[in-house]
Structure formats: C-alpha cells, structure tokens
Amino acid sequence: MIILGIETSCDETSASVVKDGKIILSHVVATSQEMHAKTGGIIPENAAREQVKSIIPVIETAISDSLQTRSAPEARQAADYSKNKAVDSPLRKSDSEASRLWAVDHIDAIAVTIGPGLIGSLLVGVETAKTLSYVWKKPIVPVNHLVAHIYANFICEFLKSNFQFSKKGEPKLPAIALVVSGGHTDLVLLKDHGNIKWIGGTRDDAAGEAFDKTARLLGLPYPGGPSIAQAASLFKGEKQIMRAPRPMLDKDNFDFSFSGLKTHIVRELAKYQNIVEVSGAFAWEIQEAITDVLVAKTLKAVEKYKVPTLLLAGGVAANTRLREKFRLEIENCKLEIDFRVPPPWLCTDNASYIAACAEYNYKPVPWKKVSANPSLTIMDKQSA
Ligand code: KG4
Ligand code: ZN
C-alpha cells in the first residue's frame, strides 16, 4: 500500500508518503523548535499556531516529492494524467498539477497521529487528515504516536536519496521495545502487530523530559537532549566532579524514575558560582545516569522475556551514547539479540513511522469517528 502519513503531535509538522510500511517515497518535517528555544520550552499555543501555518505546505511538498521517486513508467503515467482525465476540471491546469493529482490518486490511505500530544497541535493534523479523507475519498487510519515510534524500525529505505539504512530485513517478533520520548518512557513486549503488553515505564518524568529539564538548569538550549549530548561529547568524561543517582536500578521491576535527577542537579549546582565552567561535566554525568538505567532495565527485560529482537525508539533513541552503550552491553553480556535502532532522523518525530505503523496495523475508521486524544497511552487502541 502507499500511505500518506501526517504527524502534528507537538512541535514538528510532518508528512510522508511511505510504500508497504518500509520504503519512504517522501519525508518532510517542519519544526518550530527554534521558536521554543527562545522561550526555553514549548508554549502549546505557539506550537499549534505554527502547525496551522505549516500543515498545507508540508503535505503539498510530501506529495510532490513522492513523484520524484517513482519509476519511469509511473512518472510517464503521472505526466499523461491530464490527458487521461476529464480536461474540463478547473483544477487540472498544468502538467505539474496533473502529476500531483496522479500522486494523490495513487495514495491508498491516510494515517494520522491522534495522540498523545498537545491538543492544539494534534487537532491541526487530525482535522486536516479528516478533511482530505472526505475530499479525496481515502480511508483514514488513526495512529497512536507512541506505538508508531516503534515502527521506525520497520523502515529500511529512503528512495529519494537512494539511501538504504537497514539490510537486515523486517524485525522478527516478539520483541522488547523501549520507547523513550519527550513525554513518555515505556518498556513493552510487542508480541505481534496490535498485540502489546506494557511491562514498565516511568513513574514521574520521562527520559527526554529529564534531559530537557536538566539542560535548562545548566543554561543549555531547548531541546535539552541534543544540547546535553553535545556538551558531554566536548567534555569526554574527563575530571568528573559529580555523581548522579541511578534511580530504581536495583529494583526488581521494569519501572523508571527520573524526577530525582533534576532535584539532585539543583542541589549540586548550588555548590558552584559559574555554571558555564561545570556544564560539560554535569552534562556528561546526566547522560551517563539516564543511559545507564535505560540500558540495564531494558536488557533485564530482554533476558526475562527471551525475545529474539530489541527495538529502540523515540527521540532519546537518537542519543549516540545510548546507542553505543546498548551495543557494548549486548556484546559484553554475549546476548543473542537482534538489536535495532532507527537512524537518528527517524527517531525524532516524523510522519514516516506514522505511515509505517498504519500499514502494519491497518484499521481504517469512518472519518467522522476520528478524534484527537491528547492523553492516549501506549496501551490504548488507536482505533475508535
Ligand atoms: O520523540 P520525540 O521527538 O518527541 C516526543 O514524542 O516527545 O522526542 C523528543 C525528546 C526531547 O526530550 C529531546 O530532548 C529528546 O527527545 N532528544 C534527545 C536527543 N534528540 C532528541 N535526547 C537525547 N539525545 C539526543 N540526541
Ligand atoms: Zn515522539
């Protein structure tokens, strides 16, 4: 199937055209992060306003970009489209418009994030998708953003840049999946598509939230994850001056807790006059503390459930140190596991994995029944 994905849950406006849940034909992401960096975090109303501005241009670009990746016969078909169709339509003015209409005609379904996320932002994507579904007469598939993050691991190719990033084939299920994003940290057993068992998660702050909040304390820009990662990589772990807690590491469960880290950093920072001088050392230790707990707990779940596959997903999965630690630990412990993590640009929010998730969990619903749900959890069914 060819699915148009739409994602607007937070501060990214994204649209992608994805074939068979695996091959990206087009991938467009507009972000309002720069604006939020100025205010030190997201102001939901501003994020929603930016979504409104970007949604139509982003979808239009995704559709026209998808044409560039079509085969030569398909491209000819697209170019001839205006001749084949009724020419009296006021919409079919030029060849490029005709080609775009051909691309729209060759979309099998629309997938849209319905939650979780910011209500104002979600509504923009949901209402646009419903309108397009009605006007274009395409089925619409509501998608749970958290479940969808996992499906970035099922995408293997980006046709536009002729970029193949996974030659290992489709990940085998069952799998343990760690979803680490700005608002959520969930460890799940993905038994099969549409069959998920939640085995643990954060009791307070999410891993991404811990990065964002501690970065703010250190005076580093939003989003905090990449800022902390960069400051830590410059510091390289030399001359450590502070030890952060690794909460819940020894607990016999799969839960996490990151809010204590923030309190600890506030206390430790008070000992220093000049935050800039110690920000690298602090950033290093914060990254070590968060990644240590994520790796240890996840690998414990892998051992308990004896699954063949481990899937890492969500914005925090873009973290180089986290990826490296998983690889090292799996090697050191000689775990026989197929460890997958998407390329960093597929970890952070985008519509390609929304379309991929819809392909593997294809449950269209009438457009009138699709509604945004900002507080959806990873266990909630995405269909109404
Ligand atoms: O999945 P995502 O893009 O959006 C949500 O669904 O929340 O995740 C955003 C989170 C932010 O907290 C951001 O700081 C974090 O992912 N993040 C990172 C990195 N890139 C993004 N955290 C650590 N290291 C990174 N390189
Ligand atoms: Zn996300």
Which ligand lies nearest the alpha carbon of 348?
A: 1
- The answer to whether the CB of 223 is under 6 A from ligand 1 is yes
Average pLDDT over residues 305-320: 98
- The answer to whether the CB of 211 is under 6 A from ligand 1 is yes
Instruction: Report the distance separating Cα 142 and Cα 383, nearest Å.
Output: 6
Distance 126 CA to ligand 1 centre (A): 23
- Sequence-separated (6 or more) residues with CB below 8 Å from residue 252: none
Residue 183 CA: nearest ligand 1 atom is 7
- Nearest CA owner, ligand 1 atom 8: 315
In this structure, which amino acid lies at residue 128?
Answer: T
Instruction: Report the distance separating Cα 260 and Cα 347, nearest Å.
Output: 26
The dihedral formed by the CA atoms of 221, 222, 224 and 230, expressed in degrees to the nearest 10:
-50
- The answer to whether the CB of 226 is under 6 A from ligand 1 is yes
Residue 217 and residue 266 in contact, taking contact as beta carbons nearer than 8 Å: yes
pLDDT grade for 161, boundaries at 50, 70 and 90: low
pLDDT of residue 32: 83
- The answer to whether the CB of 10 is under 6 A from ligand 1 is yes
Which ligand lies nearest the alpha carbon of 181?
A: 1
pLDDT grade for 83, boundaries at 50, 70 and 90: low
**Model pTM score:** 0.94
Distance 156 CA to ligand 1 centre (A): 21
Q: Which residue has the tokens 């457009």?
A: 367
- The kind and range of the H/E element at 289 are helix 275-305
Average pLDDT over residues 342-366: 97
* Most informative mutation of 151, 222, 316 for ligand 1 (most atoms within 8 A of CB): 316
Tell me whether strands 309-313 and 338-340 are parallel, antiparallel or unpaired: parallel
177-192 burial code (b ≥16 CB/10 A, e <16):
bbbbbbbbbbbbbbee
197 burial (CB, 10 Å; 0-12 / 13-18 / 19+) is: exposed
Q: Residue 93: is its pLDDT beyond 60? A: no
Q: Residue 220: is its pLDDT beyond 60? A: yes
Taking phi first (over 0 means left), then psi (-120 to 50 degrees means alpha), and beta for anything else, what does residue 114 get? Answer: alpha
Which ligand lies nearest the alpha carbon of 316?
A: 1
What's the pLDDT tens digit per position in 164-208? 778 889 999 999 999 999 999 999 999 999 999 999 999 999 999
- The answer to whether the CB of 348 is under 6 A from ligand 1 is yes
- The answer to whether the CB of 295 is under 6 A from ligand 1 is no
Q: Is 19 helix (H, G, I), strand (E, B) or coil?
A: strand
121 burial (CB, 10 Å; 0-12 / 13-18 / 19+) is: buried
Residue 234 and residue 183 in contact, taking contact as beta carbons nearer than 8 Å: no
Instruction: Report the distance separating Cα 355 and Cα 175, nearest Å.
Output: 20
Residue 145 CA: nearest ligand 1 atom is 6
Q: What percent of the chain has pLDDT over 90?
A: 81
Residue 126 phi, psi (nearest 5): -65, -50
312-337 burial code (b ≥16 CB/10 A, e <16):
bbbbbbbbebbbebbeebbeeeeeeb
- The answer to whether the CB of 229 is under 6 A from ligand 1 is yes
Q: Is 84 helix (H, G, I), strand (E, B) or coil?
A: helix
Question: Beta-carbon neighbour count of residue 135 at 10 Å?
Answer: 9
Strands (E), the chain: 2-7, 12-19, 23-31, 109-115, 140-144, 157-158, 163-164, 175-180, 185-192, 195-201, 309-313, 338-340
- The answer to whether the CB of 116 is under 6 A from ligand 1 is no
- The answer to whether the CB of 182 is under 6 A from ligand 1 is yes
Residue 369 and residue 382 in contact, taking contact as beta carbons nearer than 8 Å: no
In this structure, which amino acid lies at residue 171?
Answer: P
pLDDT grade for 384, boundaries at 50, 70 and 90: very low
